[in-house]
């Protein structure tokens, strides 16, 4: 029997996925576990492997179609079956399947089973509406009646995109009624400094199997990708939700630079992972967060959630977008454990092999915008975190040093700027200053084991 390949469910709250690219065409041979197609959801982009070896006999949806989970999207036949049966041509895109993805809205394309849902939904007036957990939380934080929002998700489900669109419409109406200018919100182009939501920490190259799209021509109108639309929505929502404040500290990294230069070759030989600066910063952040739990907290309605664990988001810049893998329970890992986790998550992010739960649940985020040469960035908070730390560029500067006798001298030191962006609703400037002072001391007086 031919094997049917279905749209997988990439997490408990995921009900549909968008086919972004077919990696195999009808008639192509494929091996078991070889990638068949790429999908994009509101949590992760991933390559979906074939469950069996054989010949691609049928692909039922075009690229760009948004399909409900568990819907058959392709059929794989073994060599004998493929020889006996005619090859099914890939169907042309239906108008609703070829609809362009717009920011803040789901694609109109749906699987055939989903096209029957509206008739059922019309008779279900007494049935309780379905809302995603994030939509419920956003509604509570923004005092929204979810019954006023039309859902565009599966079976009329209200998603976070629906809530974001409702907020934008409400704010636009408010701005018009008061005749006051609408404040500017961050554009997607500015997001090279921030998480998706949800920052950039590890420079990442695209996988060899995913060639970068051609550069757009001047004057060309290019629709947003699924990932870029989600980034835009989350960044605008974060900027609208949290009053952002930033504080910048200048840190002398000379001690760590010297330690890394002395140990990097032996460290890689012993442990099989390169010794970069990121683990030093991550460990210092974790040690400091343990002393200042308010920076690792989140606002929930009228209460503050002090998280039991430190789940450290390490934002990664990809050729096709931005993603924030999370090191769960980072406080339980030593330096080597964090270094290995950073390298592993970054590598799997490049290969689109991350699982949904590996890019959710962060409580604090690191973003390394300094890899592009800037002094420091002022990042947008990765919701629902209350703080994000941007890492600036590392450079040598002349510095005035004072010895124990009060004598001044000028020396060349390795200097790096760190910018803490924090939610002023729950973190005061004094808390942020004390946190950054302790973080600075930890790096400048480094005394932690690296193995």
Residue 428 is among the residues annotated as catalytic for this protein: yes
The one catalytic residue in 417, 424, 431, 451 is 424
Amino acid 173: pLDDT: 52
Residue 397 is among the residues annotated as catalytic for this protein: no
What are the respective helix, strand and coil percentages of the chain, to the nearest 5? 35, 25, 45
Distance from C-alpha of 329 to C-alpha of 206, rounded to nearest angstrom: 28
Q: Which residue has the tokens 């079976």?
A: 155
Amino acid 58: pLDDT: 92
User: 419 vs 198, 246, 247, 375, 434, CA distance in Å?
Assistant: 18, 6, 6, 10, 13
Peptide bond into 384 cis (omega under 30): yes
- Cβ neighbours, 10 Å, residue 425: 11
Distance from C-alpha of 49 to C-alpha of 32, rounded to nearest angstrom: 7
Amino acid 408: pLDDT: 94
Spatial neighbors of 347 by CB under 8 A, at least 6 apart, are: none
Contact of 190 with 150, CB cutoff 8 Å: no
Query: Which two three-digit tokens encode residue 327?
Result: 């090191």
Amino acid 20: pLDDT: 84
Contact of 42 with 72, CB cutoff 8 Å: no
Q: Which of 383, 308, 386 is nearest to 138 (CA)?
A: 383
Question: Facing residues of 248 across strands?
Answer: 419
Stated as kind and residue range, the H or E segment containing 302 is: none
Query: Which two three-digit tokens encode residue 92?
Result: 């042309």
CATH number 3.30.559.10 given to 226-444:
yes
Distance from C-alpha of 118 to C-alpha of 231, rounded to nearest angstrom: 29
Cβ-count burial 165-192 (b if 16+ within 10 Å, e if not): bbbbeeeeeeeeeeeeeeeebbebeebe
Stated as kind and residue range, the H or E segment containing 82 is: helix 79-84
Q: What is the CATH number of domain 3-84?
A: 2.40.50.100
Q: Which fold has domain 116-183?
A: Dihydrolipoamide Transferase (4.10.320)
- Tell me 447's DSSP state: -
Sign of CA dihedral 107, 113, 115, 116: negative
Q: Which alpha helices (DSSP H) does 310-428 contain, by range?
A: 335-350
User: 65 vs 110, 159, 233, 306, CA distance in Å?
Assistant: 7, 18, 20, 41
Distance from C-alpha of 59 to C-alpha of 71, rounded to nearest angstrom: 12
Domain map (residue ranges) of the chain: 3-84, 116-183, 226-444
Contact of 385 with 313, CB cutoff 8 Å: yes
Q: Which of 37, 4, 71, 44 is nearest to 316 (CA)?
A: 44
The one catalytic residue in 78, 428, 431, 451 is 428
Is this model's pTM higher than 0.85 or not? no
Amino acid 287: pLDDT: 97
Contact of 389 with 364, CB cutoff 8 Å: yes
pLDDT tens, per residue, the chain with 451 residues: 789 999 887 755 567 888 888 999 999 999 988 889 988 776 677 888 898 999 999 999 998 888 888 899 999 998 666 555 554 445 544 433 433 333 333 333 333 333 333 333 333 333 334 565 566 767 776 778 877 787 766 556 677 667 777 776 665 554 443 333 333 333 333 333 333 333 334 444 444 444 455 677 888 888 887 777 877 888 898 998 899 999 999 999 999 999 999 999 999 999 999 999 999 999 999 999 999 999 999 999 999 999 999 999 998 887 767 788 999 999 999 999 999 999 999 888 888 888 878 888 999 999 998 888 888 889 999 999 999 999 999 999 999 999 989 999 999 999 999 999 999 999 999 999 999 999 999 999 999 999 8
The 321-323 sheet, strands edge to edge: 202-203, 316-318, 321-323
Distance from C-alpha of 306 to C-alpha of 298, rounded to nearest angstrom: 7
Cβ-count burial 234-248 (b if 16+ within 10 Å, e if not): bbbbbbebbebbeee
Distance from C-alpha of 13 to C-alpha of 8, rounded to nearest angstrom: 12
Q: Which of 111, 241, 244, 236 is nearest to 161 (CA)?
A: 236
Question: Facing residues of 366 across strands?
Answer: 314, 389
Distance from C-alpha of 49 to C-alpha of 337, rounded to nearest angstrom: 29
């Amino acid at each position: 029997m031919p094997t049917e390949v279905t749209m997988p469910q990439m997490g408990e709250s995921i009900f549909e996925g968008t086919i972004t690219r077919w990696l195999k065409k009808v008639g192509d041979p494929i091996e078991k576990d070889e990638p068949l197609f790429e999908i994009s959801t509101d949590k992760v982009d991933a390559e979906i492997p074939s469950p069996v070896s054989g010949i691609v006999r049928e692909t039922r949806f075009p690229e760009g179609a948004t399909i409900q989970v568990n819907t058959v999207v392709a059929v794989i036949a073994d060599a004998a079956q493929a020889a006996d049966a005619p090859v099914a041509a890939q169907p042309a895109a239906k108008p609703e399947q070829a609809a362009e993805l717009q920011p803040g809205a789901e694609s109109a394309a749906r699987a055939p089973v989903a096209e029957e849902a509206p008739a059922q939904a019309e008779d279900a007036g007494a049935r309780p509406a379905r809302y995603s957990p994030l939509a419920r939380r956003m509604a509570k934080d923004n005092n929204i009646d979810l019954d006023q929002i039309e859902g565009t998700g599966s079976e009329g489900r209200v998603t976070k995109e629906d809530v974001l669109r409702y907020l934008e419409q409400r704010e636009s109406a408010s701005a018009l009624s008061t005749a006051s200018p609408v404040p500017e919100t961050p554009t997607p182009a500015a997001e090279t400094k921030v998480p998706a939501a949800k920052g950039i920490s590890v420079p990442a190259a695209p996988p060899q199997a995913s060639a970068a799209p051609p550069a757009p021509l001047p004057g060309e109108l290019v629709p947003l990708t699924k990932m870029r639309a989600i980034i835009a929505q989350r960044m605008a929502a974060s900027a609208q939700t949290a009053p952002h404040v930033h504080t910048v500290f200048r840190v002398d990294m000379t001690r760590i630079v010297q330690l890394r230069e002395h140990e990097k070759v032996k460290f890689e030989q012993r442990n099989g992972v390169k010794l970069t600066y990121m683990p030093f910063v991550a460990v210092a952040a974790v040690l400091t967060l343990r002393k200042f739990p308010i920076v690792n907290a989140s606002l929930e309605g009228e209460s503050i959630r002090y998280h039991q664990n430190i789940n450290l988001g390490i934002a990664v810049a990809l050729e096709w977008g931005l993603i924030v893998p999370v090191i769960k329970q980072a406080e339980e890992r030593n330096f080597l454990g964090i270094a290995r986790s950073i390298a592993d998550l970054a590598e799997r992010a490049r290969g689109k092999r991350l699982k949904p739960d590996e890019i959710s649940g962060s409580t604090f985020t690191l973003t390394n915008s300094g890899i592009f040469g800037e002094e420091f960035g002022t990042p947008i908070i990765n919701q629902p975190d209350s703080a994000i730390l941007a890492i600036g560029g590392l450079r040598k500067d002349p510095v005035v040093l004072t010895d124990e006798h009060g004598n001044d001298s000028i020396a060349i030191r390795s200097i790096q700027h760190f910018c803490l962006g924090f939610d002023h609703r729950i973190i005061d400037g004094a808390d942020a200053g004390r946190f950054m002072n302790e973080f600075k001391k930890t790096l400048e007086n480094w005394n932690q084991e690296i193995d």
